[in-house]
């Protein structure tokens, strides 16, 4: 209703999650632990995290529509840094709320003695 996109995104998420579960080739899912960096290289940690994720999730939906993002959290008290790589299927991107946009252009006249001027127009 209105300009809200949440309903369609939630429906798509529900359908793709159901499709993934129906097509998942892993029937018995082993228990897995979260993968922490502990000072290791991002490439190594990301590959290990993805292998761990694939122990429970193997489907065409994972192959085509899922990826992983890097998450870094630092404790302000003890200064411990936790770096993990988490799977995702959707990334939320806010829609712009501005109704108008300012376009700038440079006017160069035929008289070379007059310097070019920059103008703006609101559209």
Residue 18 has pLDDT above 70, yes or no: yes
Distance between CA atoms of 43 and 62, rounded to whole angstroms? 20
Query: Which residues, at least 6 apart from 55, have a Cβ–Cβ distance to it below 8 Å?
Result: 26, 29, 30, 32
Residue 58 has pLDDT above 60, yes or no: yes
* 3-class secondary-structure state, position 66: coil
pTM for the whole thing?
0.67
Residue 50 has pLDDT above 90, yes or no: yes
Shortest CA distance to 59 belongs to which of 20, 87, 29?
20
What is the pLDDT of the chain when averaged over all its residues?
89
How high is the pLDDT of residue 9? 80
């Amino acid at each position: 209703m209105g300009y809200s996109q949440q309903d369609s995104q939630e429906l798509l998420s529900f359908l793709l999650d159901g499709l993934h579960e129906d097509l998942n080739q892993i029937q018995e899912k082993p228990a897995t632990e979260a993968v922490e960096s502990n000072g290791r290289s991002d490439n190594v940690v990301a590959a290990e995290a993805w292998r761990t994720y694939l122990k429970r999730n193997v489907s065409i939906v994972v192959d085509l529509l899922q990826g992983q993002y890097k998450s870094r959290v630092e404790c302000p008290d003890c200064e411990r840094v936790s770096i993990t790589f988490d799977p995702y299927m959707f990334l939320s991107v806010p829609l712009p709320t501005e109704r108008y946009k300012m376009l700038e252009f440079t006017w160069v006249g035929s008289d070379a003695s007059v310097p070019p001027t920059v103008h703006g127009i609101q559209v």
